[in-house]
Chain A
Amino acid sequence: MKIKSILIANRGEIAIRIMRTARRMGIRTYAIKTAKEPSAWYLDEADDIIDFSESLSDTPEFLDIERIIHAVRENNIDAVHPGYGFLAENPIFARRCEEENINFIGPSSGVIYNMGNKTVAKDIARKNNVPLLRGSKGTLLNADYARRFANAIGYPVILKAAAGGGGRGMRVAENEEEVERMYNLASNESAKAFNDPAMFIEKYVAEPRHIEFQILADKHGNIVHLGERECSIQRKHQKLIEESPSPALDPELREEMGNAAVDIAKGVGYFSAGTVEFLLDADRKFYFMEMNTRIQVEHPVTEMVTGIDLIEQMIRVAQGEKLLFAQKDIRLKGHAIEFRINAEDVQSGFSPSLGTIEKISWPESKNVRVDTGVHDGSVITPYYDSMIAKLIVYGEDREKALQESSNAIRKFWIKGTKTTLSFCRAVLQNRNFRKGYFNTSFLSSELKIHYHSEPEEEMLAAFFAIYDFARDLEEAEGKKLNVDKGKNITPWLLNKRLR
């Protein structure tokens, strides 16, 4: 059934990204307005706005399933695209859409449930003979149980929230003493973020690469992978820089891992776009980690090297169309890198940096794509994640892409908040990164200083500080004070002053 209208149950850059493709396909778009950012840019891009400004319950707007369902019904909207985060991997939401006969642009609720529960996901991988790491089969009862299990499989271990994602609710314990503290930290965080304190544990692979495969499947059993994304540049499991293809893979390994990814997706009866995440260790052995049943933040790098619009494909699949290409038609051409530009203070341990984006500008070029949800005057709120833009740079090969990236970042200016741009520069300066030798421990072991500044830059900054200080002194010292006027006091005023 053809989709004529879509509600985007999301905000920021991904909402804008989805709306643009939808509009190109002639589909009417609806956005949700919240009181938290009532003048955000994504609202301007939508054809229609559904107003959620009056908060009627304590559930955050983008998590309020019944309110969203109600809005879709009321406005006769055909479909919902959840974007990433929020309700994107919430099986209850997908189930409610199915019940209400709303086209949920994503996989079925059953698949979301199975893959969302990491222990179920692992069973499916095991059945399909995809390599796995040793770990607990189910969730752990308590910290003590975690400690005993960790002792059995050996250290280091990683504690993960069963419902987790995006790095939240995950902690590594290096030894027995740390297990309990890390268990509590991760569990509390998960309880807050996902309303579920359940944890599981597995062997921790030191210094692995994080490689993920983009999957695309239709409702007719056709399934392809669109190559991999290298996401090893991370900080505390938060991806910061992603690229495609990975410098670590050769065609053979790519085929092997790609097939494993397709097997898993097939095993669960997957349709729509999805991502299978693997760890790749130093011996080039790979292990299945999890499957993300949604569009990923870093999907643009895949789009750049394959030329396929993933959002468009998701919508087509949701309409019941067949994929127009098979695995042999997929070619990875060139190299693409994505830099996440977050409002974070790199120099103070990546702490969030709130404020207003006073100005933002970037170089326009055919090899540069910027996905962003902010413009001049946008406010960074504490309510949502800190990402303000994604800079995606394309080059014929990795070398050219890196060169292009350095230029683009130099000309990417943001005023009003601290950002991770200085971090991106530091990574680009690193020789091992340039050579492609890196893994997930890059930040802690390789990049000792997380920002880059040329020696002369501090001198220029020092000059500016002194210049401004001198200007302030000048304000007090250099201005002519007109005191004469005060001497000509009219009797009228004099009378008043001597009351």
Chain B
Amino acid sequence: MWIRERILPPGYLINVYDNRSVMAEKNKGAKNTRKSRMIALSSTEKEYVFTNPLDRKVKYMGETLQIKLYEDPNGFSYVLWKNKKYPLEIIEKNQNRYTVMLNGVWHSFTIETPFSLKRKKFLESQAGTSSSVTIDAPMPGKIVEVLVEEGADVKAGEPILILEAMKMQNEISSHVDGVIRKIAIRQNDSVMKDDLLIEIEKH
């Protein structure tokens, strides 16, 4: 049983697994999440396949791994791997979408099961024909100026609007060649992070 996440003794191991107590407390017939195979699909389409993620013997690509998660008395979580400590934290999670910061670098994943991964790939291959991309606000701020109009042609790298955040004027540019399909904001609008700014129809 997972006892607690707030750690008292120094270097408390958080992924301890006590088989017996869990089995005793478990609901009859509940889904066995411990034995399942899960895939973390990275933003660069890399697949990391783990089996029994909560078990003492985690399997990664068929290999049994010893990965230990600790929380130190200062409140840092870290993973101990090959005698090296890597600090980590979850910086964003929403359903099966995760962003994990490890050693100062963040990595984004979606957690998939074998079927959902198949479905995802399938839907993506279908979506290949529809070709619009969206430009989302990379940070909260204020729209200072919109440099394009709907229907205008843009080239990759061409600035399309200026967003002011933290007293800096940031040029947001298109990352594809295409036609502006929709402008979702106006000058002087305040935007939240990840708000849709502009939709571009790819050439």
Contacts and interface: CB of A to CB of B under 8 A. Distances in A.
B109 to A, nearest CB: 5
A413 B76 contact: yes
Contacts of A145: none
B98 A469 contact: yes
Contacts of A376: 75
A421 interface: yes
B48 A425 contact: no
B4 to A, nearest CB: 13
B171 interface: yes
A478 B22 contact: yes
Which residue among B58, B69, B75, B106 has the maximum number of chain A CB atoms within 10 Å of its CB?
B106
Interface string A466-483: 111111011001111100
Contacts of B67: 460, 463
B46 A458 contact: yes
Contacts of A480: 25-27
A393 B57 CA distance: 41
B54 A470 contact: yes
A467 B15 contact: yes
B79 interface: yes
Contacts of B53: 463, 466-467, 469-470
Contacts of B9: none
Nearest to A344: B166
B167 A192 contact: yes
Given A188-B169, A459-B48, A460-B79, A477 B87 contact: no
Contacts of A451: 104-105
Contacts of A168: 167-168
B192 to A, nearest CB: 12
A51 B91 CA distance: 35
A221 interface: no
B50 A466 contact: yes
Interface residues of A, number: 55
B88 A352 contact: no
A418 B101 contact: yes
Interface string A414-436: 11101101100100000000000
A307 interface: no
A471 B90 CA distance: 13
B94 to A, nearest CB: 11
A457 B86 contact: yes
Nearest to A467: B53
B111 A456 contact: no
Contact of A352 (B74, B75, B76, B166): B166
B134 interface: no
Interface in B11-37: 15, 22, 25-27, 30-31, 33-34, 36
Contacts of A474: 2, 33-34, 54
The contact size tier of chain B is: 35 or more
Interface string A347-372: 11101100000110100000000000
B119 interface: no
A252 B91 CA distance: 51
A462 B40 contact: yes
A461 B30 contact: no
A466 B111 contact: yes
Contact of B2 (A193, A382, A456, A471): A471
Contacts of B30: 477-478
A452 B25 CA distance: 44
Contact of A468 (B79, B93, B104, B138): B93
A143 interface: no
Nearest to A465: B98
A189 B168 CA distance: 7
B104 A361 contact: no
A181 B101 CA distance: 37
Contact of B102 (A386, A457, A477): A457
Interface in B73-98: 74-76, 79, 81, 86-91, 93, 96, 98
B38 interface: yes
A477 B27 CA distance: 8
B132 interface: no
Interface of A: 168, 181, 185, 188-189, 192-193, 345, 347-349, 351-352, 358-359, 361, 376, 382, 385-386, 413-416, 418-419, 421-422, 425, 451-453, 456-471, 473-474, 477-481
Interface of B: 2, 15, 22, 25-27, 30-31, 33-34, 36, 38, 40, 42, 46, 48, 50, 53-54, 58, 60, 65, 67, 69, 74-76, 79, 81, 86-91, 93, 96, 98, 100-107, 109, 111, 138-139, 144, 159, 162, 165-171
18 contacts: A168-B167, A192-B167, A347-B105, A347-B106, A352-B168, A359-B74, A414-B104, A415-B76, A463-B48, A466-B109, A469-B38, A470-B33, A470-B34, A470-B54, A471-B54, A474-B2, A477-B33, A480-B25
